[in-house]
Structures are given as C-alpha cells and as structure tokens.
Chain A
C-alpha cells in the first residue's frame, strides 16, 4: 500500500491501481454527504481534480495520484456517501486507474512515511 500527501491510499495489482482516501482524511472531513466520481474511460493526469467530496462541513477535491485511464468507479459510494466514513480503506474505494507509468508510485509515501506525515 502506498499513500500520498493528499491523503489517498493506492493499492496496485497487475498495473491497476485502486484509490481511496485514508481513515485520517475521512475523519478530518467529517460526515461525507456527496461524492462525484470520474467517468469510466477518462484519461487522467497526475494532480487533475477528478473527484469531488462534500462533507457536512465543506467541499474538497481528490486529485489523480498518477497518470492513466479510469477503468472502474465505485458507484456504491455515490449512492451512499456515508460508506466513506464507515470503511474508507476497504469497501469505500473511489476508483481504479490503469497506470500508464507505474514508476510514479515510487514517488508515493509508504505507510511509515504517511504516518509520520500526518503526525
């Protein structure tokens, strides 16, 4: 598992990277009431704003952590945004992206580095 400073977790298998937000991020955002997911098939570039999350408090964006094409999105969290608070690092993943350059993952944080980052 890899992490970003934008509080995303990335789980890679066979060139497909599953992306969600960390438990720390879900906790900080508060109760999530709206999630807007990217289109399947969309080509994304690292740092594109591709997901919008709204909590009871405010709106925030999720950035594409790597370059690639969106191959699947988790429509269950668009229907029930509260799932993101319940299981952010499990069932409530956001999207899967076919990475065009897996070496971008090397720039991400490992678990120890992420833990240090959030203090």
Chain B
C-alpha cells in the first residue's frame, strides 16, 4: 500500500488527540476527543475548524480560461464576477457527474477546489481537454474551513474585512501574517469560510484560531453528518458519473446562459442534461427520515411495501443527524415516490423498517447572503 499523505496539520491533529483514518490517500482526523456528536453540535452552536487540505486546489490561467472551462462544466463561468465563487460540476458525455467543485474568479485566474478522491483525475481531465490553458496545482498550500455562527467573529479578530464578505465571495486577505485565499462558503450548512493558506504559515493560523475559546477542531466524522443534515450531496455516494445534475437536485447549478442563447450547451452531456428540461429522469435523489431510531446507512435497500421482493431504490448516504436528533438519509427513488411524506420501507438487518420521504435540507442552512 502507498504511504498515506500528511497535511501540514498532521502533528497538530495527533497532539490534539485525533483519531486518524485513511481518506482518499491521506491520513486524516475522523474525530477528536470531543467525539463526532459534540463536534457536530459545537459547529452549529459556535465555530468548528476543519482541516480540508486533502482537497485539490487547481489554478487555471489564460485570458480565455472561463470560456475554456465552460466546455467542461454546465455552470455559468464567463458570467462569474471577479471576487465571486460558484458551485460547478464536471460532467461526462452521458450527462453524469465526474466531480463537483467550487470555481472562484480571482481576476487573472480561476481557482478550483475539487474533491480529494478525484483531484488527480480532475487535473488530468482538465489538462487533456484544455490544452491551451495553463493549469497549476499550487503545492505546499493548506486548506482549512472555519464554520458556524461564531466563525465570522473568530476570523474578524484577525482581519475585520471578512465581515464585509457575503456568501460565495472569494478574495485574498491577510490573516495572521499570511496572504490567504478566503471564500465565504463551506460544506456544513452554516455560515463560514474556507481558507487556503501557504503551508509554512498554516500551523500558525490554525493555532491562532484555536486559541479562541469558541473554536474547536472538528473531524471528518462531523463534517459528514453536518453536510448530510444540510442536504449537501457527497460525490462518490449521492452523486456519481452515473447520476445527472437534475436527478441529484442540482439542476440549479446549470447556468441560465448555458441553457439558452449563444453560450448554451457545449459541455459534455449537454444534449442529455439540457434535454432533461424541468422534469428530469428517474430515479431522483430524495431526503429520507427513518421513523424509528435505527439509522439507515448507505446501501440500505428501499421497498415500496413491507412485502415487495424487488427494491425500488437505495440509500446513498445515511446516519444519525445530531441536530435533528434522529436518523436521516438520502437515496435514489423513482420520481413518482419522491413526494414529501411518501412512506416506504428500508431493509435493515433483514427487517423492513418504515421511512418517509422528507424535504431537504433536514437542518436549515444559514448562509450570509
């Protein structure tokens, strides 16, 4: 087995008592001594600091970088203003999702943040399809996320300019002596920031933030339950190369300018994705609330009745929602069964347990728009 990679914060995680696990080739903290449940609730009540340095940071340079990227994603990149960030999808010819990513317009370049597990494949895909664009993968930069209602105050103590940022702003700011690439975004449903910091300055920034009593280190375990409660899909689970944007409820990320007018289409799978119109293909991703206390995990088969032999769908993400105080899940179902309140059965340890289709998100998002 290949050696696991360490982020700049590895020694800090160990010193903080983190339980480390392999994740997409990295040795990452799944939880700290506080535990997943308290870490989750702390992030919703105060502020959580996440090491997300395993995610891929990619820079695209060149005067036509936005037009070029539009040949690979259905999002409106040309219309993205400087200092703003947008959610986008890399699609394949079948209209499936190769990865989901953030794209920021940094003036003379685009900054992409992609999933750790797909980073190498994404860079290869970009390089192969955009030969005229200069692609840079900045080495030695760490990435942290500061999330929760106290995140703004904690970061404003280092630079008050962060308070002027709104959701999806992406600018350069000085923090603890380092020039950081800061965006007001995250993967928890909370207000917060994602901060790319030079590796040599990363530990110092983390330590300064952790000195704030409102800020606690949070592991990947709580990151997963936070995003699930916020109804945010996970690539590789809820969205894959086999699911289209509309199936996953991500039709909103297809830019209006990419649906009609001179820049319509032109991305892989455009005929399929634009052909889905407003109805879309079945199955569709839906929120699910098990009626009992037993969590229904990824892979749980869903049945229309207690006795049916054939499943109608499958859970793609599931677990316990600490803020909801109950099990929650997402899964794919025929469109006819995705109406809120529809009662189905999930098979857990050979038993058919009741589960109801629920609105997403399970926990309200609190972005500062």
Where the two chains meet, the residues of A that have a C-beta atom closer than 8 Å to any C-beta of B are: 30-31, 33-34, 36, 52, 54, 56-59, 78, 81-82, 85
Q: B31 near A30 (CB under 8 angstroms)?
A: yes
State the CA gap A52–B350 with chains docked (Å): 13
| Main secondary structure on B side of the interface with A | mixed
How many whole Å from B52's CB to the nearest CB in chain A?
20
Q: Which residues of B contact A59 (CB under 8 A)?
A: 295, 297, 349
Q: A30 near B35 (CB under 8 angstroms)?
A: yes
Q: B225 near A56 (CB under 8 angstroms)?
A: yes
Interface size range of chain B in the complex: 10 to 19
Q: A56 near B319 (CB under 8 angstroms)?
A: yes
Where the two chains meet, the residues of B that have a C-beta atom closer than 8 Å to any C-beta of A are: 30-31, 35-38, 221, 225, 293-295, 297, 319-320, 322, 327, 349
Q: A33 near B31 (CB under 8 angstroms)?
A: no
State the CA gap A35–B76 with chains docked (Å): 48
Q: A57 near B36 (CB under 8 angstroms)?
A: yes
Q: Which residues of A contact B36 (CB under 8 A)?
A: 30-31, 56-57
Q: Quick one: given A30-B31, A30-B35, A33-B320, are A57 and B295 in contact (CB under 8 Å)?
A: no
How many whole Å from B289's CB to the nearest CB in chain A?
14
Q: Which residues of A contact B295 (CB under 8 A)?
A: 33-34, 54, 59
Q: A33 near B297 (CB under 8 angstroms)?
A: no
Q: Which residues of A contact B297 (CB under 8 A)?
A: 58-59
Q: A31 near B349 (CB under 8 angstroms)?
A: no
Q: B37 near A34 (CB under 8 angstroms)?
A: no
Minimum CB distance partner of A61 in chain B: B349
Q: Which residues of A contact B293 (CB under 8 A)?
A: 33-34, 78, 81
Q: B294 near A31 (CB under 8 angstroms)?
A: no
How many whole Å from A51's CB to the nearest CB in chain B?
12
State the CA gap A18–B322 with chains docked (Å): 30
Q: Which residues of A contact B225 (CB under 8 A)?
A: 56
Q: Quick one: given A56-B320, A56-B322, A57-B221, are A31 and B35 in contact (CB under 8 Å)?
A: yes
Q: Which residues of A contact B327 (CB under 8 A)?
A: 33-34
How many whole Å from A58's CB to the nearest CB in chain B?
8
Q: Which residues of A contact B30 (CB under 8 A)?
A: 57
Minimum CB distance partner of A33 in chain B: B320
Q: B320 near A54 (CB under 8 angstroms)?
A: yes
Q: Which residues of A contact B31 (CB under 8 A)?
A: 30
How many whole Å from B153's CB to the nearest CB in chain A?
28
Minimum CB distance partner of B30 in chain A: A57
How many whole Å from B245's CB to the nearest CB in chain A?
30
Q: A34 near B294 (CB under 8 angstroms)?
A: yes
Return 12 A-B CB contacts under 8 Å, by A number. Answer: A30-B37, A30-B221, A33-B295, A33-B320, A34-B320, A54-B294, A54-B295, A56-B36, A56-B320, A57-B221, A59-B349, A82-B37
State the CA gap A34–B321 with chains docked (Å): 12
State the CA gap A82–B322 with chains docked (Å): 11
State the CA gap A7–B341 with chains docked (Å): 41
Given A34-B320, A52-B294, 16 more A-B residue pairs with CB atoms under 8 Å apart are: A30-B35, A30-B221, A31-B35, A31-B320, A33-B37, A33-B295, A33-B327, A34-B293, A34-B294, A36-B294, A54-B320, A56-B35, A56-B36, A59-B297, A78-B293, A82-B37
State the CA gap A78–B294 with chains docked (Å): 10
Minimum CB distance partner of B31 in chain A: A30
Q: Which residues of B contact A82 (CB under 8 A)?
A: 37
Q: Which residues of A contact B35 (CB under 8 A)?
A: 30-31, 56, 85
Q: Which residues of A contact B322 (CB under 8 A)?
A: 31, 56
State the CA gap A30–B221 with chains docked (Å): 10
Q: Which residues of B contact A58 (CB under 8 A)?
A: 297
5 nearest A-B pairs in the assembled complex, by CB-CB distance:
A31-B37, A33-B320, A56-B36, A34-B293, A34-B294
How many whole Å from B300's CB to the nearest CB in chain A?
11
How many whole Å from A37's CB to the nearest CB in chain B?
12
How many whole Å from A108's CB to the nearest CB in chain B?
27
How many whole Å from B320's CB to the nearest CB in chain A?
4
State the CA gap A94–B352 with chains docked (Å): 24
Minimum CB distance partner of A85 in chain B: B35
State the CA gap A58–B31 with chains docked (Å): 14
Q: Which residues of B contact A54 (CB under 8 A)?
A: 294-295, 320
